[in-house]
Structures are given as C-alpha cells and as structure tokens.
Amino acid sequence: MSIQRTCDNLLEIRDLSIDFNTDEGPVRAVDNVSLNIRPGEVMGLVGESGSGKSVTAKTIMRLNPSNAIIQPSSSIQLRHQEQDINVLKLRGKEMRLVRGDAVSMIFQEPMASFAPAIRISDQIIQTMQIHLGISKEEARKAGVELFERVGILQPEKRFDQYVFELSGGMRQRAMIAMALSTKPKLLIADEPTTALDVTIQAQVLELMLELREQFGMGMLFITHDLGVISKIADRITVMKKGKVVEAGTTERVLFSPEHDYTKRLLDALPNLDNLPEAPPKEPKSLVSIKDLSVTYKLAGSARKQESFTAVKNISLELPKGQIIGLVGESGSGKTSLGKALLGAAPISSGTVHYNRKKHPVDFGTDKAVNRKKLAKTAQLVFQDPYSSLNPRMTVRDIIAEPLEAMKLTKNRDETDKKVIAIAKRCHIDVAHLRRFPHAFSGGQRQRISIARALVCKPKFIVADESVAALDVSIQAEILALLKELREELGITILFISHDLSVIANLCDWVCVMKHGELIEQGNVRDIFLDPQETYTQQLIASIPLLEKKSNTDIKQKTKPLAQTQDQRNHVWEAG
C-alpha cells in the first residue's frame, strides 16, 4: 500500500516495518504499514491486542525499546513548522524538541508514565514552561483548568498530589490533561478512555473534538472500543498481526466492512438488544456485607488526622454462583469496596462474612483477617496489570505463585500442568510462559493477571476492571470464560466495571454506587430498562453504542462545550 505525498498530510507513515529481537529470534511486530493523517483529522487505529497498534504509535515518538529494529525501507514524515521532518532520522535533542511541541501522546498505562516521586503539578508545569514559554503561574492556572475540563473533582487539590494518590480513572484523566497541555499539532491517544467511566469518557471525547476544531489538531486514536471509534474518528485503519487489513471512512468500515477480521471484531461487540432474563433468586449468600465503611487517612495529615470515607455504610448480599456487577463513576468507591471484601482496605466500621461450610471467614473492625484462609476462598484481578505483575518473574512463576504459596500442588510437574491448563483457558500462548511481563501488551498482561487469580479455583473473585484493557474479541472470550467458571465451579464474582454494556451482557445483578453510597440495585433487565435513579439513567444514556455520525454532527456536538469554555476567559487558550 503506497501513499502519494501531499502538502495536506500532517503525518505520513510509509512502508513501516519493525522487528523485535527476542530469545526465540526476530519477531515481526509491524509489517509494511502505511497511513496518513491530515490536520484536524481523527484516524482511528483498531485491532486486537498484539496487532502492532501501540508499536506503530510509539515509533512516531521514537519510544520503542532498544531491541526494536526499524527496517531501512520505513519512512515517517511529520509536518512541523512548515517543514517535512523525517522522524526516523532525528536523534537525541532533535527528537526531544518534537515530542510535546509537535507530537504528544496519551499512554495506555498512566501509572508508568508519571514520575512517582514528583508531584503531578511539577511535571505538568515544567512541560508547559518548556514548550509554551509561559510563566510558572500561568502554567499552574492552565494546568488546574485542564484538570477541571477532563472531569477531575477538586482540581486544585488533585493537581498537587502524587500519581499513586489518584484512582485509576483519575490517573488517566491526569495523563490526558498533561498530553493536551502543550497544544500539540498531532495527538497520539493510546487507549485514552479505557479506564474512564462512560460519563467522563463522553466528556473527554467532547474535549478532544473541541480541541481538534480550535487548533486543527490531528489525532491518531488507538482503541479496542468500536463504539468510541464511531463517535470520534473520521477514518479507520484496522490492523491484524502487524499488518493493515482494512482502511477507509468510519461509516464504510463499521457499517460495510470488507475483511472477515473486521466483521469478527464487530460481531464480538456487546450490545443492549438482548438482555438476559432475571435469574432465579439464590437463597444463600456466599458473602454478606453489613454496615460496611472504608476510611482512608490522607497522606501528610498526621497532625490534623484528616481522613476520607470512600465507602459509606453499605449492606449487601452476594448470592452463591452469581455474577454481581458493581458500577459507578471513577472515585465512587467501587474499588475500595472490592478491596475491603478481601481485607485489603481499612474497614472503619461494619463486617464481612464468608459463608463457607468448612472455612467460614468473618472480619471487620473487631477481628483480624485470617489471610491464608481467605486467600483460598477469594482472589482479586487487579485493574492495572502493569503494576500488579512482578517484573522480575516469568509468566509461569507469576501464575504458579498462588499454588506454591498455599501448597495446593505436590511438586513442580503438578504445578506446571495446572499453570499450562489455566494459561490455555485464558488464551495465553504456552510458549510465552518463559517471558517476562514487559514483553506483553496491556491486554496480554491482563490475561496473565486473570490466570493468576483463577489458578487456585477460588469460590469468590473480585474482578476490578478486569477486561478494560482487552480488545473486544478477547474481551468476549474472557467474559465467556468467567461464565463457564461460574457454571462449572459455582463461583461467585463481584465484577467491577465502568463499561455498562459489558455489565449488561455478563451480570445477573447490578449495584450502582455514587460518592461511596449504594444508591440502586436490581437485576440487569430492571436496571437497564427501567432505572429509578437519575444518576443511573445518566450512566446508561452515556453508553457509547455503535452508531453512524457524520462530520457535521461531530462539529455541532462540540459547539456547546466550546462556548462554555470561551466564557471562562481561561489562561490555557491564551498560552
């Protein structure tokens, strides 16, 4: 596929091929990829985990690891300051001037993108001073306003915090704010809304489209969420195993796909058309939660004893063998509640009871948790697989760790058999068990995390955004796996997610949280077809379903937000 160079192109990738040197020999990650982006255009890049999307994007920024070998036939031309720059020939300081000024990137994993020992405000202010030439005071005002515009509550306070003090969704919003702070001509967004709830996701997409209109900013928008792509992209490029298999306008690719792979991606999309019937009421509960509150002592507040209550007086029954969905915006207390059920969050009041015949477990403020007994009953699938997987352990050892720690196998051979079996069920290539986590994409790392939680066959699993990083086809397979385990083992699952379309297709029961409180619960059909609370109605109305959107519709959608921001007379726009 060859592209004719035109002066209209902001970015032009031609015949890009990249190999990675591995212990098994060279592996072709990107194979003869070509695409172009014009100023003000949004190019959607979709494909399964490991298809080469992120590798292609990072190459534009020259951020691939040292074992990445770019083939000589490759070319990346970037239009910057009225000149065409060959990005692949830039070195050192030259490339650093392009990053942030001409091109900025929203990374898939914000925890790994911020310096953990430096306040977020210092990192953003320094970046804006370097690239925009504004004062520290102006940069601070602009940064705080960006925090507000991406939906971060108490932006003044959050701006001065460290990245580890923010929830997963807030980290992602902070990462988006930092990427937008320099007003780049090209924004590379790698799964920018994966960790965001549907209402904030809609707000961030609207902000990006507004900036596209204001500054003529081009975007390479990478995602596995085809519903999001239908709302934001002008054109779509589909990748599979490092190659471009289909490209065209958004409407043509999504509603008249030509390649079988594109059709399979669309077929795997969850939908709200056929909601499951309400299951029979299970009389027995595996987990009983009574008057549970979770309170955190704020960092640096030893003298004042300041605290924050994330979960407020919740009582809830989790029936045996059912999948219970827990939804709500980022910061609503979902993750804190899930961790409290595993003894991993500070319970300030209330109790949790696991109703098991052989090993009942009770804990709360009055009793320490028997963690060994609890670990055999309950496991957690973390939201962020990057930080939850030990980088010094192989995938085999990571999955085997629970078996060996709880002495559930007699020898290494038995352990290996169980590891291989669960790896296959979670669609992890057995040949990759000797590799380390850094060698995998975000979606592949999430499958490793799921396999580790499932290998000891627990009775209860807290799955915290466990499929957020997965593309739609692998997501469908993992959801099917969870359903199978529920049927085969009678496992109970608390499924925490901001993706309501996934909740609708997986869960039997839905609980809605807001500001730490449980405001509504019911079976799937009742919640999605007849929600009683205004907040629940807003969440469901914000679900990004696949739909046709013309460019005119997109431009019109951005105007109300643009007018609101103009009235604020903000420093950021003047910078």
For residue 558, is pLDDT > 90? no
Task: Give how far Cα 406 sits from Cα of 15, 106, 397, 409, Å.
Answer: 51, 40, 14, 8
Give per-residue pLDDT as tens, 173-182: 898 889 888 8
- Strand 460-464 and strand 492-496: pairing? parallel
Q: What are phi and psi of 237, to 5 degrees?
A: -115, 130
- Amino acid occupying residue 33: V
Contact call for residues 468 and 499 (beta carbons, < 8 A): yes
Beta-ladder partners of 197? none
Q: What are phi and psi of 56, to 5 degrees?
A: -60, -45
Give per-residue pLDDT as tens, 147-199: 988 888 889 999 999 998 887 778 888 988 898 888 888 999 988 877 677 77
Among 214, 119, 277, CA closest to 559 = 214
For residue 573, is pLDDT > 50? no
- How far is 312 from 368, CA to CA, in rounded Å? 21
For residue 355, is pLDDT > 70? yes
Q: What is the pLDDT of residue 477?
A: 77
Q: What are phi and psi of 298, to 5 degrees?
A: -70, 140
Mean pLDDT of the chain: 84
- How far is 260 from 43, CA to CA, in rounded Å? 21
Write down the domain spans for the chain. Answer: 41-64+92-269+551-574, 287-541
- Strand 323-327 and strand 378-381: pairing? unpaired
If phi > 0 it is left, if psi is from -120 to 50 it is alpha, else beta; for residue 354 that is beta
Domains 41-64+92-269+551-574 and 287-541 share a fold: yes
Residue 5's pLDDT band, with cuts at 50, 70 and 90, is very low
Q: Where would I find the H helices in 364-458? A: 371-377, 385-388, 395-405, 412-425, 442-454
Give per-residue pLDDT as tens, 404-425: 988 899 999 999 999 999 999 8
Q: What is the pLDDT of residue 567?
A: 32
Q: In what order do the strands lie in the sheet with 361-364?
A: 307-319, 285-297, 347-354, 361-364
Q: What is the pLDDT of residue 418?
A: 95
Place of tokens 């792979």: 261
Q: What is the pLDDT of residue 571?
A: 35
- How far is 14 from 2, CA to CA, in rounded Å? 7
* Among the ranges given (7-16, 152-161, 545-554), the one the predictor scored with the smallest mean pLDDT: 545-554
What is the architecture, at CATH level 2, of domain 41-64+92-269+551-574? 3-Layer(aba) Sandwich (3.40)
Which of 367-376's residues contact partners 24+ apart within 8 Å by CB, and which partners? Answer: 369/343, 371/343, 372/406, 374/342, 374/343, 375/402, 375/405, 375/406, 375/456, 376/406, 376/456, 376/458
Give per-residue pLDDT as tens, 267-311: 877 677 777 777 776 678 999 999 999 998 876 544 556 788 999
Task: Give how far Cα 460 sits from Cα of 77, 223, 341, 427, 456, Å.
Answer: 52, 31, 10, 22, 11
Is residue 539 classed as helix, strand or coil in its secondary structure?
Answer: helix
Place of tokens 């915090």: 161
Contact call for residues 311 and 326 (beta carbons, < 8 A): no
Instruction: Count Cβ atoms below 10 Å from residue 81 Cβ, excluding itself.
Output: 9
Task: Give how far Cα 32 sits from Cα of 88, 392, 514, Å.
Answer: 15, 33, 48
Q: What are phi and psi of 79, to 5 degrees?
A: -85, 115
Give per-residue pLDDT as tens, 56-114: 999 999 988 889 999 999 999 998 877 888 999 888 778 877 888 889 998 877 777 78
Q: What is the pLDDT of residue 561?
A: 30
- Amino acid occupying residue 97: L
Q: What is the pLDDT of residue 549?
A: 56
The pTM assigned to this predicted structure is 0.70
Q: What is the pLDDT of residue 221?
A: 95
Beta-ladder partners of 495? 325, 463
Is residue 521 classed as helix, strand or coil in its secondary structure?
Answer: strand
Q: What are phi and psi of 432, to 5 degrees?
A: -95, 5
Q: What is the pLDDT of residue 367?
A: 62
Among 367, 303, 379, 284, CA closest to 339 = 379
Q: What is the pLDDT of residue 493?
A: 94
Output the six-digit token pair for 445. 């790392």
- How far is 434 from 427, CA to CA, in rounded Å? 15
For residue 219, is pLDDT > 80? yes
Helix (H) / strand (E) element for 147: namely: helix 136-149
- Specify the DSSP class assigned to residue 114: S
Among 441, 443, 442, 428, CA closest to 398 = 428
Question: Which has the higher per-residue pLDDT, 174 or 359?
Answer: 174
For residue 458, is pLDDT > 70? yes
Q: Which fold has domain 287-541?
A: Rossmann fold (3.40.50)
For residue 570, is pLDDT > 90? no
Residue 384's pLDDT band, with cuts at 50, 70 and 90, is confident
Contact call for residues 243 and 33 (beta carbons, < 8 A): yes
**For range 21-44, the mean pLDDT:** 92
For residue 553, is pLDDT > 50? no
- How far is 498 from 48, CA to CA, in rounded Å? 21
The span from the first CA to the last CA of the chain, in angstroms, equals 40
- How far is 450 from 302, CA to CA, in rounded Å? 37
- Amino acid occupying residue 519: I
Cα 8–9–11 angle (5° rounding)? 160
- How far is 313 from 204, CA to CA, in rounded Å? 32
Q: What is the pLDDT of residue 509?
A: 93
Q: What are phi and psi of 284, to 5 degrees?
A: -100, 140
Q: What is the pLDDT of residue 13?
A: 95
- How far is 256 from 549, CA to CA, in rounded Å? 14
- Specify the DSSP class assigned to residue 282: P
Q: What is the pLDDT of residue 557?
A: 35
**For range 369-374, the mean pLDDT:** 74
For residue 317, is pLDDT > 90? yes
